[in-house]
Amino acid sequence: MFVHQRQGSLEVICGPMFSGKSEELIRRIKRAIIAKQKVQVFKPALDDRYDVSAIASHSQRKHDAIPVKDSVELARHLDPEAQVVALDEVQFMDEGLIPIIEDLADHGVRVIAGGLDQDSNGEPFGIMPILLAKAEYVTKLQAICMVCGALAGRTQRMVQTGGQVLVGAAEAYEARCRHCHETPHATGGRLLEDPAQGS
């Protein structure tokens, strides 16, 4: 007897800033819509750089999204009929998102999550290492190093500020390769001064 079973999965799109993560996420969302699948899109409310209620790429491609402050709020908004759930900037989300994603995928939903895999110190960022380990499919994108032009897998913070999270774009960050990336704790590394304050 043939039994049709929906196959849920987790896809993770990761890489540094300016590597095209949101652009790739939007591309996959559009393809799912063309395929007439019911899609829900979420983003952290914290990320309001380009649009409060849309995910947006640095090249200004956009798609409507539900802004949520945490995993509890996201769970309240989930549509039980959704076939595809897309999440942008998941590095900003709390650990409560992990069992939600697992449950969705276990019940046949295609989950697509995009975000930074490393913070500006080159360390694993938030829940991304766990999602990468649990994903069926991982796409790691590269940017272009703003110093030497090589492929870049890291994000360089250009302003001096405390804390792991600083929401920003080209005014605060650059893509860097391993060799051009500088961190405060690296041998010979230094914090870059805020260019607005001079040096």
Binding residues: 15-22, 88-91, 145, 148, 177, 180
> Is residue 104 within 8 Å of residue 8, measured between CB atoms?
yes
Residue list, annotated binding site for ATP: 15-22, 88-91
Residue/partner pairs of 67-73 with CB below 8 Å, 24 or more apart:
67/42, 67/43, 68/42, 68/43, 68/44, 69/44, 69/45, 70/94, 70/96, 71/95, 71/96, 71/97, 71/100, 72/96
Residues assigned a catalytic role: 89
The binding site for Zn(2+) consists of 145, 148, 177, 180
Q: In the beta sheet, which residues pair with residue 12?
A: 113, 138
Query: Would you put residue 43 in left (φ > 0), alpha (ψ -120 to 50) or beta?
Result: beta
Distance of CA 152 to the CA centre of its chain: 16
